[in-house]
Amino acid sequence: MTSSGTNPLLSDRDVRFQLFEVLDAAGLCALPAFSEHSPETFELLLGNVSRFAREVLFPTYRLMDAEPPSFREGRVHVHPLMRRLYPRMVELGLLTATRPAEVGGQQLPMTVASVASAYLMAANASAYGYLGLTIGAAHLLEVFGTPWLREHFMARLYSGEWTGTMALTEPQAGSSLADVKTRATPGPDGTYRISGSKIFISGADQDFTENVVHLTLARIEGAPPGTRGISLFAVPTRRPEGGRLVDNDVQVAGVIHKVGWRGIPSCVLNYGEAGDCRGWLVGPEHRGLACMFQMMNEARIMVGLNGVSTAAVAYQEALDYARSRPQGRPAWAKDATQPQASIIEHADVRRMLLRQKAIVEGGLSLLLTASWQADLEGHSRDEETRRRAGLLLDLLTPIAKTFPAEKGYEANALALQVHGGYGYSSEYLPEAWLRDQKLNSIHEGTTGIQGLDLLGRKVMAAGGEALRIFSEEVAATVARARQAGVEAGWCEGMERALGAVAELTLSLGAMGMAGEVEQMLRHSADYMELFSIVAVAWRWLAQAAAAREGLARGGSERDFYEGKLCAAQYWFAVEVPRVPHLIELCRSCEDSYTRMHPEWF
């Protein structure tokens, strides 16, 4: 049930603002890879995808959430709607939207394709999940696969005939990939015999395409221990043999009963129970994790987009409900005979809505900025620009995955709160989106893992050059904001926060160099929190600058731009002042939870 029966999923006006006013998406067309595109082709894609998302995909969300996949006679049976939905999603062109023409792609910028995908995620994240995982698997084969794999596997993934998965996690290892035990034994035909088990494999079986290809991490016999001994294999559920597909000894042992993302199965897979599971090596032996990280980093951006999208659709629902639900009167109104006010008139409801807006639109700006850097890294004509963009993208990726997941969950909880008692019922959708959102801080590397990656690797990369590049980008935004007439206090607050983070990072880096690694990383979760606040402040300052520029042009959109400035004000007034406290926790190495003995709990 919705308050008005419609939900835009994402704000079209905000999407255009982020693409064409905060960023310069039209300017990407000057790059050779995108020279055949224009703002008009971008608009065509966005229009087609958003229309499909609203009119076709979103109405299926509740149905698929209510009827999750079933496991019968060794096969997974998904909701029958997927037989109709998946071909329609393939027709939109997103499987190959960013890929080169030689593999049938449209060579669209990732910046544009990302926000197009966000509409589908907001409409039905589970249904989109099949598409997103297939994009990642096909891209891996495109980059690292042999010509045979590209012809026989990649082409069918990109065409939509097959789907793909990422099969990393094992029951005994969890996120510790160094402990992967799945084995790969060389066979006489050039393939490998795969044996072992995987768990939590999304989309590992379904009944709407004829095959699934699992990009699987395994250890070749005799490989070195740890992550250096891991190789990557393409393992189809059914393998091509003699001009037809035959069983490849990949069995679903069970399906996880999830609280959210209920439209896509999470499976336990057993490889090689009959000794006849064939896998094809992808990339060099023992370099599987390095290859897989391409897919994992793409998946982390996808998770961030899912976080933003799931928070966005709930925010839009809460906003509509708050405008249409009459309840109570202002605190100073004493006349009970007067009509009730819409709850959006109550200050605390506006507080909750503004926080959601700040998280959603700040998070979207962060994700599009990461996608922008991916476009520059992959397609700029200038080698130095590509190098800088790559370092900045690496730095932003753990933040772009974590912030929307963690703060998106908070935004989803606020959307439920705005609905009051109705929100705490399954007749209204906010509770379902809250369930969906929780997964985003768990899969593709938990929040704790992302914090360790950010502090332990990314900000220290290339002798701290990634942080220097980030600082230069922030400085350029501050200059733009000042030129546009953005409040001086916000610009100064941005500079102070950035300087404090840089100083802290140098201090923690010195700690690590001195061998005090545990102390350095002790508050990596707090470091992630404070860096996320600063990164989103950077994006809100950019939006504030674009809003000031929009107001200076005049016109009829004053309300839109003033709303942007209010959200930026909120972030600088409420979130940025938290940075000094978080910095002190990191710097002091406060030890309450590391000093806590397990038996004291």
CA distance 443 to 437: 11
| 3-class SS of residue 232 | strand
DSSP string for residues in 530-581? HHHHHHHHHHHHHHHHHHHHHHHH-SS-HHHHHHHHHHHHHIIIIIGGGHHH
CA distance 564 to 365: 12
Helices marked H in 419-446 — which ranges?
A: 430-438
- Residue 444 designated active-site: yes
**Residue 341 CB partners (closer than 8 Å, separation 6+):** 326, 327, 328, 329, 330, 333
Nearest CA to 18 out of 360, 364, 313 is that of 364
CA distance 572 to 533: 9
Instruction: Return the residue matching tokens 């990393």.
Output: 168
Q: How crowded is residue 278: how many other Cβ atoms within 10 Å of its Cβ?
A: 24
End-to-end CA distance of the chain: 43
Catalytic-labelled residue, pool 170, 317, 444, 549 = 444
DSSP 381: S
Please name the amino acid found at residue 389. A
What are the two backbone dihedrals, phi and then psi, of residue 241, each rounded to the nearest 5 degrees?
-160, 120
CA distance 189 to 242: 14
Residue 238, class by beta-carbon neighbours within 10 Å (0-12 exposed, 13-18 middle, 19+ buried)?
A: middle
Nearest CA to 494 out of 518, 525, 470 is that of 470
Please name the amino acid found at residue 50. S
Q: How far is CA 341 from CA 248, 332, 346, 394, 573, in A?
A: 63, 12, 8, 48, 28
- Which uninterrupted H or E stretch holds 219? strand 212-220
Nearest CA to 409 out of 437, 431, 428 is that of 437
Strands 266-271 and 192-202: antiparallel
CA distance 19 to 122: 18
Counted residue by residue, the chain has a size of 601
CA atoms within 13 A on the CB side of 218: 29
- The answer to whether 115 and 15 are in contact (CB under 8 A) is yes
Q: What tokens appear for 269 in the block?
A: 């897979």
- The catalytic site residues sit at 444
